[in-house]
Structure 1
């Protein structure tokens, strides 16, 4: 297969552009690991580690908003080329850091780049995919996300005993992977769907100006916030933010819950987390098989039930090692059938080309902010009343699943992946 043919292959685009998910997950997990390894060399306290982690989260949120908006205005390819270069610079700075200030600057670059890359890259994938495989390919990006988590955990197991040197190695490897991604992304053409929509937008505005007609810019942010698209923005944003509370607690605080609450060990928790990741990949395979068929919502319903069961068990029987194991294994299925993968699909289907990345960036940022706020009180809640914490997560998950079952499916799809349909829609929205 020639380079040109490879560049046009939907799977090639999915893997190369989808490395945004791998690098985003790797940045988050690596920072949590490396800050501990940097503790002695940089005299980091628990408070400073928490502040650095919060800085990374905040910059991912800012990056998602800015990157999504720029991707809709200036093109998918141009923006994710710049963001991946920024990722490399941030990772190199963190690997070579000699002061806490260098760590802070590196985290700003790394977080902003990871956040900005994600919505633009997923938009590129959805716009390059055949209609009958669009959901499947978008869902596959979550497999790459899990891959990023497993890769960093594997590196941590190998270099975790080397102290700060091990931390530098982890960031250096991420920089090397990102450089390879830069080279691979040079094979990708711009999204034809975006290019056609942008050309129609420009021509429609020029025609309106020439005729003296009043017009609105179909690509302006106000067109997203003051149109029918505000409904899916709110609905899908609420679903993602609320459902992510379960995933964030499971990912960010699993070690704490196993060790401090259930009285287990880090080694046991790590083994369970590995098993959870493997089961999660199996669940993602099922999601990919169902998402483009009439059985999509059946899969979602099963995932929703498993998620509620997963967090309801410790809420009822108490928080101990067996109940946490059941939570991890059940949520590995439920969360991947009715969680972030389906959010990614909805975020592509319900918004037009000129707003697709912007809308996803806004929803990602909102979700990160909510997760960061809840994370501030999660350890205290887990220590004071762990069953109450799991009851609250179960209740929140029930709200999210209700939104996914009864609200979002009623919202009309944007359905503008067809350039002709997109052009007609843009022309109609331009003239006031």
Structure 2
């Protein structure tokens, strides 16, 4: 549910930007600032930079206890915003809460998942992340006749879901793997320290950070623009009805839900991940090629929606959420996610600030070609350096990557064989 409301907040922003712009009479740069500082970009980046290290230092449950309280304040400010400045503050607070929650949720799920079904379990987060936009855009269609009031209601529904989720998650136990690592048993050596200090002290971590940045940040820069600005892209392509724009996005995310459920969750633990990743990446490139170079008719837009939705379901985010949990040791697993999410969201933020202006002045062909170039980079990096971690426990992967483990009984380090 945390993934549902986190993604849902991005979509609530996406479907309401034009209405806020008209209501407060601001220009494209002000709209770009809203997007850049929100849960889609810099707001989430700051939250991840803070939440990841805290998650490693104080526990996964610590973040779960407090982040949604901040989230609820943010969405309430957005729902009842009476000025541009209040709306901006609400977006920033929501973004910080989202950024803090993502490393905790993906880390927790991966650490609690069985080795033979890690992709399936982590895929539930991707599934919920996809359901958030699906429901969000569907709600936007339902409340569309209400105008700005309808957009405020979308934010209020997120507040209600967040409150229920916060109450339910108080009963979650702490991650068993994290508790073992804290108590000196079952995880990587104390040499180098925990959190950010330990993360940047080892070469294995640095190479993994570079690899995952190449996989996720380039893809997510595209997905970030598609998630929050796609209604404007449709408008530039000739679909001017807000209802039709949102219906296209419902189709996108419906296909993403199906691809996640029937594709990544079903086959992520059973087939060669490199090939499955390549399939998703190629589909994503194909979708944007269709959008940029085809005739821009409704059938073309429908084709884009279906192909991009399917690509996202087995795309970089799903693999990133698994690999980033597998490639780092427990003492800094969440810190790594925080650093990577921070970097990826900063990249989204930089482009988000200029995207509305670029779209207005340069049009779909220019921004679409830029999106294709970013997706090609993500494809090449992922296919070239995909790790072979399928079906292995986090401790086994850790032993191979670092060459040593901490004895759960004595706390001493010992060489580990390579598996």
TM bracket, shorter-chain basis: 0.7 to 0.9
- Aligned in 2, Cα 1:163/1:328: closer, same or farther, shift over 3 Å? closer
Deviation at 1:347, TM superposition (A): 0.9
- Aligned in 2, Cα 1:394/1:289: closer, same or farther, shift over 3 Å? same
Contact 2:32–2:353 (CA<8 Å) still a contact in 1? no
Q: Which has the larger radius of gyration?
A: 1
Deviation at 1:133, TM superposition (A): 1.4
Q: Which runs of 5+ in 2 are unaligned?
A: 415-419
**What's 1:221 paired with?**
196
Contact 1:315–1:391 (CA<8 Å) still a contact in 2? yes
Q: Using the alignment, how far apart are the partners of 2:27 and 2:363 within structure 1? A: 26
Deviation at 1:124, TM superposition (A): 0.8
**What's 2:271 paired with?**
294
Deviation at 1:131, TM superposition (A): 1.2
- What is the TM-score when the length of structure 2 is the normalising length? 0.86
Contact 1:197–1:422 (CA<8 Å) still a contact in 2? no
Pick which of 335-344 and 123-132 moved more: 335-344
Cα RMSD after superposing both structures: 3.1
Contact 2:141–2:243 (CA<8 Å) still a contact in 1? no
Pick which of 185-194 and 302-311 moved more: 302-311
Q: Using the alignment, how far apart are the partners of 2:354 and 2:31 within structure 1? A: 16
- Aligned in 2, Cα 1:111/1:332: closer, same or farther, shift over 3 Å? same
- What is the TM-score when the length of structure 1 is the normalising length? 0.83
Deviation at 1:47, TM superposition (A): 3.8
Matches within 5 A, 1:390-409: 390-409=368-387
Q: Using the alignment, how far apart are the partners of 2:28 and 2:312 within structure 1? A: 30
Contact 1:350–1:414 (CA<8 Å) still a contact in 2? no
1:415 has 2:417 as partner: no
- Aligned in 2, Cα 1:201/1:103: closer, same or farther, shift over 3 Å? farther
**What's 1:10 paired with?**
none
User: SS at 1:409's partner residue?
Assistant: coil
Contact 2:52–2:338 (CA<8 Å) still a contact in 1? yes
User: SS at 2:94's partner residue?
Assistant: helix
Q: Using the alignment, how far apart are the partners of 2:31 and 2:111 within structure 1? A: 39
Q: Using the alignment, how far apart are the partners of 2:101 and 2:268 within structure 1? A: 24
**What's 1:154 paired with?**
138
Q: Deviations over 1:260-292 (max 9, x none)?
A: 234554333332222222221111121101111
User: SS at 2:174's partner residue?
Assistant: coil
**What's 2:114 paired with?**
130
1:259 has 2:235 as partner: yes
Q: Which has the higher helix share?
A: 1
- Aligned in 2, Cα 1:375/1:204: closer, same or farther, shift over 3 Å? closer
- Aligned in 2, Cα 1:164/1:130: closer, same or farther, shift over 3 Å? same
- Aligned in 2, Cα 1:345/1:220: closer, same or farther, shift over 3 Å? closer
**What's 2:251 paired with?**
275
1:310 has 2:293 as partner: no
Q: Using the alignment, how far apart are the partners of 1:183 and 1:418 within structure 2? A: 35
Q: Deviations over 1:200-220 (max 9, x none)?
A: 189999xxxxxxxxx844314
Pick which of 223-232 and 92-101 moved more: 92-101
| Matched residues, number | 402
Contact 1:193–1:417 (CA<8 Å) still a contact in 2? no
**What's 1:339 paired with?**
316
1:112 has 2:96 as partner: yes
Q: Deviations over 1:297-335 (max 9, x none)?
A: 332222222223222334444544443332221121222
Contact 2:2–2:105 (CA<8 Å) still a contact in 1? yes
- Aligned in 2, Cα 1:112/1:245: closer, same or farther, shift over 3 Å? closer
Contact 1:264–1:321 (CA<8 Å) still a contact in 2? no
Q: Using the alignment, how far apart are the partners of 1:324 and 1:37 within structure 2? A: 23
**What's 1:27 paired with?**
9
